[in-house]
Structures are given as structure tokens and as C-alpha cells.
Amino acid sequence: MIRPAPAIEAIPAMTPFIGPEQLMRESGRSELVRLGANESAFGPSPRAVEAMAAELPRISWYGDPESYDLRVALSRKHGCNVDELVVGAGIDDLMGLVVRAFVAPGGAALTTRGSYPTFNYHVTGYGGRLVSASYRDDGMPDLDALLEVANQEKPSLIYLANPDNPSGTFVRKEQMIAFFDALPRDAVFLLDEAYADFVDESDLLPPHVEDRLIRTRTFSKAYGMAGSRIGYAIASQTNIATLQKIRLHYGVNRNAQIGALASLDDEPFRRYVVDEVAAARADYYRLAADLGLASIESFTNFVCIDLGTADRATRVMNELLARGVWIRKPGLPPLDRFVRVSAGTEPMRDAFEAAFRAVLSEVPA
């Protein structure tokens, strides 16, 4: 009998994300209003599209395995050295490398229960032991509880998304500095800044390179390049050298390198997206308030709306899907009573609003 390696056999079967394409196949729909994956509704920068289109005939070439030009541009943006950066096929890829590098089989890794699930998926996949602290009821990660579990369980890796997914909440700079200072000195802190482009740089943990800090960024959200799969990590030279040993050297799409580089040159476009997203959030807050529902103030490109119970939130999500509007919801308490809606264009928001109003009247509290 053929069996996988024991560590792999021990992993429970799971599908962390059911994509909208699968949902469309299942429901026989040819179209969905895509508000479920925090993709950008505002597309990539026209400059990125132009640069990628111009280079497309050379897709027969591998990309530069060092992503050198992009790293040079990123080193300027972040005021760090080129050898303090590594480019990967999105944060999801880099997160896998960080887990593999810093969590030994059987070792503990700490996260917030119900936060970004790909971290958990990698920890389990590499044979680590996941430990967690809960969210607070207001949607903030409970930093005190995280510190307590960190001191008890001695994880070698501690994960926090800031701004957070799925809550949209944001830990402010002073609090983040205090949290980082209070963490055990022998643990690596993986700070996932997938949504950093939606907040002011001055509100984030200041640029800082130290062996116990790894930050990740992506072109998937504000830069609207999710499908091209490209992101990067900022870390100490030593840690980058470690990740360098295990990364897939030709794992980054050549066109993505080109598009990412062009995007960095288009700051007005990023500002435009950030403003559009702010308008979308404001619309969702207003809609929720108008319906007598609470929402969580978001620092990302999505908003969580409170439906009171997990059961109602799930039913509302399913009914919206039946009407062709795809959203997601947090899976675990205390946030499982919310639905999470990505920032759409105005027509997408209108479609969501109409369907949401209709569904709410059918799915009683």
C-alpha cells in the first residue's frame, strides 16, 4: 500500500478556501459579484498592465531568480538594504517559508484563533503545533492574551496580521511597539502587513530590521495584482539568507515581477485605490447603520458587519450566494457572527446592498 510520509498522512484533509470558481461550477452560475476574497475591485495600475503587456512575448524566459530590480525599488521604498528583502509568490508562499524555517516539527507556533488561515495551514503542514489566543469581542486581536500564551507555550514563531484579516482592525503604532518589545526574545515575530498600503506608513511599526522580526507585504491588495501572485518579506540579512536556502528560486512569475515594479512607480494609482476603498467602507458602514447593524471600523479593503449570531451570518452569506453575491464570513467565535464584505466598485456595492436588504428581511434575527 502506498502511503505518504507520516507527517503528511497526519494532516487532516482540508480545503482552506473554496474559490468563487468552484462555487460557480456548483451553482451553475456564469458570474458572481466577487466580494469574498478582498481582491481589488479597482484593478491593477494601468502602468503595470502596459508594462506586463509589452513584456508578454518574453514570457518564454524565466524571470530573474533574484528579482533584483524589484528588490532595488523596494529597498528605496522601505529604506532598507537589498539583502534585507526576499520576493515570493505572494505572502502565502513566503509564510510557508517562514514556518518551514522557524517551526521545528512538534514545535509551537502562535496565532489569533480565527485569523488568516493560511498560517495555520502551513504550521500543520510542516508538522508544527498551533497554539492560539482569542480575539476580543470588539474584533481586536487580544495582545495581552497572545503574550500570556507566548510565555506559557514558548512558540518559536508568533503571527499577527496588522491590519487584521478577517476583522479589519488595526493595532496602533505605540501599542504595536510595546507588544513587540514584550514578546519573548527567542521567538520570531511574523508581522503580516498585507493591508499596510491602506494605512499611513507613519501609523505602522517603524522601519526596523532585527532577527526576531519578519514583515510581509503583497501586491495582491491595494496594487490589485492578486492573480499574478507576488509579495515580499522584509527581514534581517541573516533571516533572508535562511529563507533564500529554501525558497523556490524560479517560483516568481516573470510578468508579476514586471507588473510589481511598474506599480511601485504609480503612487497616484495607489492613492486612488485607497480613496475608493475608503468610500466603499463608508458606504458599508452607512448601510449597516441604516439596517440597525453594527460594523467594525476597518483599516483594510473589507468591512465586517454584525448579524448577531453565527447561524444568521451563515444563512445570510448562503442566501447572498444564491443571489449571485459572493462574500465570506469569519469562521470562529467571537467573530463568526459577522459577515465580511470586500470593497467593491459602486455598481458592486449597489448589487450587494440590494441583495443584502432582500436577504435580511427573509433571514430573521
Ligand X SMILES: *Cc1c(COP(=O)(O)O)cnc(C)c1O
Residues that bind ligand X (CB under 6 A): 38, 90-92, 116, 161, 165, 192, 194, 218, 220, 226, 231
The nearest distance, CB 120 to ligand X, in angstroms, is 12
- What is the amino acid identity at position 365? A
Q: Per the structure block, which three cell numbers stand in for 186?
A: 527567542
The nearest distance, CB 99 to ligand X, in angstroms, is 13
The nearest distance, CB 89 to ligand X, in angstroms, is 7
User: What residue has cell string 448577531?
Assistant: 308
Q: Which residue, 205 or 360, is less far from ligand X as judged by CB?
A: 205
The nearest distance, CB 231 to ligand X, in angstroms, is 4
User: How large is the C-alpha radius of gyration of the chain?
Assistant: 20
Q: What is the DSSP string of 291-348?
A: TT--B---SSSEEEEE-SSHHHHHHHHHHHHHTTEE-B---STTGGGEEEEE---HHH
Q: Which residue has the closest beta carbon to ligand X?
A: 90
Q: Which residue, 216 or 360, is less far from ligand X as judged by CB?
A: 216
The nearest distance, CB 305 to ligand X, in angstroms, is 18
CB 47 within 8 A of CB 262: yes
Rounded to an integer, what distance in angstroms lies between the CA atom of residue 112 and that of residue 140? Answer: 10
The set of residues, in sequence order, having a beta carbon less than 8 Å from that of 79 and lying 6+ positions away, is: 207
Q: Which residue, 91 or 205, is less far from ligand X as judged by CB?
A: 91
Rounded to an integer, what distance in angstroms lies between the CA atom of residue 179 and that of residue 55? Answer: 44
The nearest distance, CB 26 to ligand X, in angstroms, is 23
Q: Which residue, 128 or 224, is less far from ligand X as judged by CB?
A: 224
Q: Which residue, 256 or 363, is less far from ligand X as judged by CB?
A: 256
The nearest distance, CB 304 to ligand X, in angstroms, is 13
Q: Which residue, 90 or 127, is less far from ligand X as judged by CB?
A: 90
Q: Distances in Å between the alpha carbon of 73 and those of 55, 160, 201, 212, 274?
A: 19, 26, 17, 24, 21
The nearest distance, CB 91 to ligand X, in angstroms, is 4
Q: Which residue, 192 or 197, is less far from ligand X as judged by CB?
A: 192
Q: Per the structure block, which three cell numbers stand in for 195?
A: 493591508
State the CB neighbour count (10 A cutoff) for residue 116: 21
CB 336 within 8 A of CB 315: no
Q: Which residue, 255 or 360, is less far from ligand X as judged by CB?
A: 255
* CA quadruple 189, 192, 197, 199: dihedral, nearest 10: -60
